[in-house]
Amino acid sequence: MRVSKVVGGGVLAVSVLTGGCAGSARDPEPAGEAPAAAAASEATGAAARMVVGKAPAAVNGMPSVVVLEPQTPREFPPLDGRPLMDQVTQTFVPAVLFVRTGQPVDFMNSDDVLHNVRVREEATKSGTFNVAIPTGQIYTHTFERDGFYDVGCDIHPGMAAQVIATSSPHAALADAQGNFSFEGVDPGAYRVTIYSGTERIEKTIEVTGPVTTVGGS
Ligand SMILES: [Cu+2]
C-alpha cells in the first residue's frame, strides 16, 4: 500500500518498501494544512508505521476483509492508477477488487464472448448498474458509497466477484489464516472493522509507534 501523506503542518514522506510504490517521491508538496498537533508526530520521523493483527481465518475460501478508518475523517491522496476488473475465460479477475469511493473503476471484457456486468450493493440489495460489455470494451463506473458490492454476469451464472469500496486507503484481505498488516499508516485513532463471513468485528486502535498490534477482543 503506497502512502505519502501530510500530518499536521509538515510533510511526512513515508516510503513504503513494497511493490508498486514508486510514485511516492514525486507527490506534490501540500499547501495550507493546518499546523495542529504536528510536532509530536513529526518528531518520530519518516518510518513506516505498521498496523498488524489477526482476523478470523477464511470462511468458505473467503478471507477476512480488514478496513482501517481514521476516527477523524480526512482526505487521502487519490489512487495512482485506476482499478480494473477484467473478464477472462468467463471469470472475473480479480475475484475481490478494492476500489476507492468516488474514484473511477474499469470493468473490461477480454473474452471473445459477450458478458454483462451486474453490480448490486450488498447492504441494500439495490442495483448499482447492469450493462452488457462486448469483447474488448470497457465500462467505467465510480462507486459513490463505501460498501460491498456483488458482481455477476447474467449470461454466465457461475461468474461472481466482489467490489469493496472504501474511502480509506487502508483496506485489504487478510491471508487465509487471518493475518493482516498495513504499512504507512499515519498516527492517530482508527476504527478497525473486520468482515468475516457474515460476522463483523469492530475495534479501535491508536497508532503511535512503529508497529501497532490490533489486539484480541
Ligand atoms: Cu459472462
In this structure, the answer to whether residues 13 and 63 fall within a common structural domain is: yes
212-25-141-68 Cα dihedral, nearest 10 degrees: 10
Q: How far, in Å, from the CA of 124 to the mean position of ligand 1?
A: 24
**Paired sense of beta strands 96-100 and 160-166, if any:** parallel
Sorting pLDDT into bands at 50, 70 and 90, what band is 215?
confident
At residue 31 the predicted structure's pLDDT band, cuts being 50, 70 and 90, is: very low
Model confidence at 2: pLDDT above 80:
no
Q: What is the mean pLDDT of the chain?
A: 83
Give the distance (Å) from ligand 1 centre to CA of residue 152: 8
Q: Give distance in angstroms: CA of 128 to centre of ligand 1.
A: 17
Specify whether 160 is located in the same domain as 184.
no
pLDDT tens figures, 152-210: 999 999 999 999 999 999 999 999 999 999 999 999 999 999 999 999 999 999 999 99
Please tell me whether residues 150 and 175 are part of one structural domain.
Answer: no
pLDDT, residue 216, reads 63
Let me know whether 53 and 12 are in one domain: yes
3-state secondary structure of 42: helix
Q: What is the pLDDT of residue 14?
A: 33
Among the listed residues 178, 215, 173, 212, the one whose alpha carbon sits nearest the alpha carbon of residue 55: 178
Residues 43 and 109 in one domain: no
Tell me, in angstroms, the distance from the centre of ligand 1 to residue 112's CA: 10
Whether the per-residue pLDDT at 3 is higher than 80: the answer is no
What is the percent of the chain where pLDDT is above 90? 74
Q: Ligand 1 centre and the CA of 162: distance in Å?
A: 15
For residue 47, what pLDDT is reported?
59
Quick one: pLDDT at residue 160? 97
> What's the farthest any 2 CA atoms get from each other in the chain?
58
Quote the CA–CA distance of 140 and 86 in Å, as a whole number.
12
Closest CA to 105 of 83, 126, 88: 83
User: Does 180 share its domain with 138?
Assistant: no
Between the CA of 214 and the centroid of ligand 1 the distance, in Å, is 40
Q: How remote is the CA of residue 64 from the centroid of ligand 1, in Å?
A: 27
10 Å CB burial of residue 180 (0-12, 13-18, 19+) is buried
- 66, 120: one domain: no
pTM, 2 dp: 0.77
Q: How far is CA 111 from the centre of its chain?
A: 27
Tell me the CA–centroid distance for residue 104 and ligand 1, in Å.
22
Q: Do 151 and 172 sit in the same domain of this protein?
A: no
Pairing assessment for the beta strands 160-166 and 147-152 based on DSSP bridges: antiparallel
User: In the structure grid, which three cell numbers stand for residue 199, read together?
Assistant: 460476522
How many domains does the chain contain in total? Answer: 2
Tell me the C-alpha distance between 171 and 101, whole Å: 12
Q: Would you place residue 149 in the very low, low, confident or very high pLDDT band (cuts 50, 70, 90)? A: very high
Phi/psi at 214 (nearest 5 deg)? -80, 115
Q: What percent of the chain has pLDDT over 70?
A: 77
The residue range of the domain holding 45 is 5-76+168-214
Q: How many angstroms separate the alpha carbon of residue 154 from the centre of ligand 1?
A: 7
Residues 162 and 89 in one domain: yes
Cα 201 to chain center, whole Å? Answer: 17
Which of 30-44, 101-115, 189-203 has the least mean pLDDT? Answer: 30-44
- Better-predicted residue by pLDDT, 1 or 99: 99
**Does residue 94 have a cis bond before it (omega within 30 degrees)?**
yes
* 40-78 residue pLDDT tens: 444 444 457 999 999 999 999 999 999 999 999 888 999
CATH number, domain with residue 162 = 2.60.40.420
CA of 107 to the centre of ligand 1 (A): 12
Which residues, by Cβ under 5 Å, contact ligand 1, an ion? 115, 153, 155-156
| Nearest alpha-carbon partner for 201 in 216, 180, 186 | 216
